[in-house]
Amino acid sequence: MAERTTSTFLELIHRGVLEIGDGYRAKNSELDGDGLPFMRAGNLTDQGWKTDGLERFHRHLADKISGKVSRHGDTVITTKGNSTGRTGYVAPGMVPFVYSPHLSFWRTLDPCQIDARYLRYWAIGPEMADQLASMAHGTDMAPYLSLSDQKRLRISLPEISQQRAIGAILGALDDKIAVNERLAAAVDDLAAALFEDLLTADAEGTEVLLGDIADVNVRTVKAQDSGSLRYVDISSVGVGSYGWPEEMPWRDAPGRARRKAAVGDTIWSTVRPNRRSHALVLDEDPDLVFSTGLAVLSPKAVGPAFLYESTRLASFQVYLESVAEGSAYPAVRADRFKGAPIILPSEDARFRFEETVMAMRLRAHQAHVESRTLAALRDTLLPQLMSGRLRVKDAEKIGEDQV
């Protein structure tokens, strides 16, 4: 095992090797400008950074907020609430932003002593997890990780060449995942553009209701006495995607695990439609089960790509918000989805659109499935590399087969 040293964050700070800090407490009057974006803790999700709709500072505040601006290579951690300990990384190419108070950043000041990527992976490794459990979650109070707590963290550091090698191996997997994510984003943008062209170019388009072209919640499943399932709940559905769930025994499944979806169905969260939690289902897995908090829309007179794009329109979200019931926790009854107005172009125009866009969607999904495999490999290699149980050379051979 390579030689390692152990230091506290405070010791590293005193040596000028590491900087840690928290975010800027913004006033409402300082936002609504066209300057740097303001990144809140809620924008750091399990799937990465969510950058849509960020508030921005006024440009004249640039000097005042300069000490709270992100830099490439920063490791970021949430410090308050149930998400305490969620981490992110400011990758090259990310637009600079201002940290909020519930985000802390860890910044390498001497790359000859701490590799930035190694620090990022240490933050999601077992050594950090063990300490986080005792610090942030060690009392009955709401989880919280103060700067003082962070200074007490102890980090094991192999020699710098080992750090760089570990960061490179794990980083190569994440880089490939990032390429796949960019492909998916490009497909989303192109599909939306082609759909807009379809709606504006076809003079034969007529208005119908969603219930005329799709069924809602037609498939259900009963609880099983044995076997397993992959349960997709509302919280795992984002804007255009859902997290891949681990297998769990049916005996542990929640009561809401009752919806089934076929390949080509669209799922939409029935609660808080303003969050736009929806996705196109392309996984052909019989164990996949969805929450009853999701409406499953099954195309019956149109193709799956057309139906999905129709539900991505801002007008569809506006409709759902208009029929949602309840103020604190607005929700849409499943039958209300059927009343959503949909523009239906001619059959020939829809066929051409479907043929092009569905091929794109399937290619993006293939890349997404590959990313799941890469992420699983990364999560397997990470603790072994961090502990020294797996040699870097052996991990490099494993990684070369995947990227």
| CATH code, domain carrying 261 | 3.90.220.20
290-303 burial, b for 16+ CB within 10 Å, e for fewer?
bbbbbbbbbbeebb
25 Rama class: left (phi>0) / alpha (psi -120 to 50) / beta: beta
344 forms bridges with which residues in the sheet? 206
Alpha carbons within 13 angstroms on the beta-carbon side of residue 309 total 28
Sign for the pseudo-dihedral over CA of 209, 210, 214, 218 = negative
Q: Are residues 239 and 330 in the same domain?
A: yes
Q: Taking Cα atoms as reference points, which of 268, 262, 306, 307 lies closest to residue 285?
A: 262
Provide the b/e sequence for 154-169 (b: ≥16 CB within 10 Å): ebebbeeebbbbbbbb
pLDDT at 67 (0 to 100) = 95
Q: What is the dihedral of CA 228, 233, 236, 238, to 10 degrees?
A: 130
104 and 199 within one domain? no
Question: Do 340 and 356 fall into the same domain?
Answer: no
Contacts of 258 by beta carbon, 8 Å cutoff, 6+ apart: 220, 221, 222, 289, 291, 292
Token pair for residue 346?
A: 């001619």
Prediction pTM value: 0.86
Examine the domain organization and report whether 251 and 168 are in the same domain: no
* Same domain for 301 and 229: yes
Q: What CATH number should be reported for the domain holding residue 364?
A: 1.10.287
How far apart (Å, rounded) are the C-alpha atoms in residues 343 and 209? 8
Clarify whether residues 147 and 40 are in a common domain.
yes
- For residues 228 and 340, state if they share a domain: yes
One domain, residues 323 and 357? no
Token output for 340: 């959503």
Domain shared by 231 and 148, yes or no: no
Q: Are residues 269 and 340 in the same domain?
A: yes
Contact call for residues 198 and 214 (beta carbons, < 8 A): no
Q: What's the structural domain count of the chain? A: 3
Are 15 and 149 found together in one domain? yes
| Average pLDDT by stretches of 10, the chain with 403 residues | 84 97 96 96 87 92 96 96 92 94 97 97 95 74 87 96 95 94 95 96 86 96 94 92 94 95 97 94 96 97 97 96 91 95 94 97 97 94 92 80 63
Please tell me whether residues 385 and 399 are part of one structural domain.
yes
Q: How far is CA 273 from the centre of its chain?
A: 18
Q: Look at residues 344, 362, 379 and tell me which one is the last residue of a structural domain.
A: 344
Out of 327, 344, 361, pick the residue that ends a domain.
Answer: 344
Give the domain range for residue 403. 159-205+349-403
- pLDDT at position 1 is 47
Decide: helix, strand or coil at residue 291. Answer: strand
Which among 296, 318, 344 is the end of a domain?
Answer: 344
Number of Cβ within a 10 Å radius of residue 346 = 14
By the 8 A CB rule, do 245 and 289 touch? no
